Amino acid sequence: MHPSAKTGLAGTALVLALALTGCGAAATTNAAPAATSHTAGTNPQDVAPGRYPNPITNTSTRPGLSVTNAIVENNVQPGTQTPVNDHLELQARNDTAKPMSGLQIFYTLTDTATGAKESYSRDLTGLTIAPHTTSTIHFDNGTRPGHYGINTNGMYYKSTDKIDFTIELSAPGYKPVNLTVSKAAGGAEKKD
């Protein structure tokens, strides 16, 4: 087992525990985002590292949205378990009887050695989670449905320090999910 796999498994267990218990840090909210559509590579936040405000204003307490798994390293291709490049990947679950759309994500990366921070937000345009199902969301600059852009100029790909991700995922009318997951020191790994 690769040494970072143990860290990844521990991080996954922590995220799962946070998601199941509904624990997480409260996020500061700001003004609502502009109605824009971004695809991989067209979001201006993908050009340079930044500190963007959290556009999520959802204050609902109604349950229905959860994250059953979150990983930021040692990613594999579903079904084949073939290694793929490290990226932010979430498994979001809709536990309601209605489709969920209009999802937004806000996340902050913190370099644990330097204290440097970057924050990003994204409207998850085109994503609808069917009732009682789980959808996998990839931030890998892929072009298929469920794949969104990520800043390849930011610390996730440039720093070799441990990086903590603080994530808020929101769907209109449902309680947002807050979670934390970490990437071990060593930098982004490429598929074997």
pLDDT string in tens for the chain (192-residue length): 444 444 444 443 333 333 333 333 333 223 333 333 334 445 555 556 677 889 999 999 999 999 999 999 998 887 888 998 899 999 999 999 999 999 999 999 999 999 999 999 999 999 999 999 999 999 998 898 999 988 888 889 889 999 999 999 999 999 999 999 999 998 656 554
Type of residue numbered 185: A
Domain edges within the chain: 3-25+63-183
Stated pTM of the model: 0.75
CATH architecture of 3-25+63-183: Sandwich (2.60)
